[in-house]
Every structure is written in C-alpha cells, then in structure tokens.
Amino acid sequence: MTVEIDGAHFRKVLGQYPTGVVVVTAIAADGAPLGMAVGSFTSVSLEPPLVAYVPDKKSSSWKALRESGDLFCINVLGADQEDVCRAVATSKERKFDGIAWRPSATGMPVLSGAVAYIDCTVHDIHDAGDHDIVVGRVHDLDVNAAAASPLLFFRGGYGSFSARDADPQATGRQSM
C-alpha cells in the first residue's frame, strides 16, 4: 500500500522529535576546512565502532565533503554554539572564518567548544531516497569536559537540554 505523504506535514510531525546538532568537518584538497550542519546523526555499532549521518544529496556542502576524501569528523555542538551552526549551515565560501578549530589525529577540524568529537573514515554510503546514509568507522573520539549542554533542534528552533543526573565524564554507563 502506497500512501502519498505531504512533505510539509512530514516535516511538522518529525519536528516533534528533538535532534542533536552536529557539524561534519573535513579538509579540502587546498587545505581549507569544509563542513556542514547535520541534525540526522546516530551511533550505529559498538563492534566495530560505527556512526552515521544523513546528508541531502543536493547539498553542495555534502558534495564538497565527499570530494575531499574518506576522512571526516563529527563535532557535537554545544548549546552556546548556535552561531557556529548557522555559519556552517549557510551555503557560502569561507564558512570557518572566525570559528576556532584544531586538527584531530587525522587532521580533520575539531571545533573549539564542541561538546564532543568523533574522528572517522567513511565505511559505507547507502542510497536513501533524496539523502545518503554515510556510515563512518570511528578512529578517535572524546568529550570536552568544559563544554555546555548539547545544542538541540526542535520544532524548527534551537534549544538545549540538561539531564538531572547528567555526568559528562561517565563512561560505559547504560541508561534508558
């Protein structure tokens, strides 16, 4: 059974689910930093360690990231980094002017103030309608203990979340 789904209604309904905001970064052939803001990011596997993000196939930023090679870094933005998200989300040249970053172990941009980073190599890319699903093999990752709560996107706007029992230093803790 095929049902026609109105795109605006689809967005409205899915907008009821808050998502974290990440910036996927890489380095262009000329050495310039590249990036795109993404709300569709998830962990995939512990063995091997895999994560995934879902870029729009029509995105010029995704095209540039794909052409840069197989290395990329996921930067989990902090609640105080909405300006970083907006700067990277624009389709303009020199997105990283005024945004501080350092190279990861593989040379990918790790944004200053990000809650966490996950350094990866492309493991696989899957076709998913008007988007691709990019699965990355994790090589290095860490949490910024000094960072704020994560930036969230919800109902078309930005916000943050702080759990009552959140411990950014916790490792191996299972919840839910």
pLDDT tens-digit readout, 15-29 = 666 667 899 999 999
Calpha distance 53→24 (Å, rounded): 9
The region of weakest confidence among 93-97, 99-103, 123-127, 129-133 is 93-97
Rounded to 10 degrees, the C-alpha dihedral 8/16/115/82 comes to 50
Instruction: Provide the pLDDT confidence category of residue 176 given band limits of 50, 70 and 90.
Output: very low
Q: What is the pTM of this model?
A: 0.84
Calpha distance 174→176 (Å, rounded): 7
Multiple choice CATH, 18-157, 2.30.110.10, 1.10.287.110, 2.170.8.10, 3.30.1310.10: 2.30.110.10
User: First and final CA of the chain: distance in angstroms?
Assistant: 34
What DSSP string runs through 117-133? EEEEEEEEEEEETTEEE
pLDDT at 174 over 50: no
Looking at residue 95, what is its pLDDT?
A: 87
Other Cβ atoms closer than 10 A to 89: 16
